[in-house]
Amino acid sequence: MASRPDLILASASPRRLALLNQIGIEPEHLVPAHVDETPEKGELPRHLAIRLAELKALTAQHKARSAGFGQGALVLAADTVVAVGRRVLPKAETMEEASDCLHMLSGRTHRVYTGLTLLTPSGARRQRLVETRVRFKRLTSKEMEAYLASAEWRDKAGGYAIQGIAGAFVVKLVGSYSAVVGLPLHEVAQLLAGEGYPVHFNWLNQSSLSGV
């Protein structure tokens, strides 16, 4: 088998790493890319998700090369934006922000945009945008209070984590569940496979490991 390029994940998110591991992919390097996530004036949520994914990928690539590695690596980055109409909901850092998000999401459908960028060793940029529609039940005051007390909302886009307690609020989801968690696995696999990355290589051992 021909040697493959290293893979750099431009994130320190345990959720994104776990999602990659779910489909048998273990990146060689994790390079967090901290960027200014403030929307530009009049910027649409879908454009923001793509722009930030690209900025994170470029930032991680620069950090890796400055540290002396990753010269011939693939760099994968993602950004998730939760929006109600044209309004981008923040990554909640305070209980007040989280409460505002819950009140906006309660009883209505919102959109989750996840942008992907893959930088290749040849200098190409491969990008995807995944849109998922999520509808929340109408939340009671008691449900909101209990969720806020859990602190699960902290640093989560839109003030919630669908893979956690807030999964109980979701009435309907149209699109990619994994994208709402943080990484659309179908599109990631397509992008990597398109660059010759052996996405399926580790799948060969799964049947023996599972004991089936």
The rounded Cα 143 to chain-centroid distance in angstroms is 26
Candidates 6, 36, 79, 100; catalytic one: 79
Q: What 3-state class would DSSP assign to 133?
A: strand
DSSP string for residues in 149-188: HHTTTTT-BTT--TTTGGGGGEEEEES-HHHHHT--HHHH
Give catalytic status of residue 79 as yes or no.
Answer: yes
- Nearest CA to 155 out of 105, 92, 101, 113 is that of 92
- Alpha carbon distance 98, 143 (integer Å): 13
- So which residues are the catalytic ones? 79
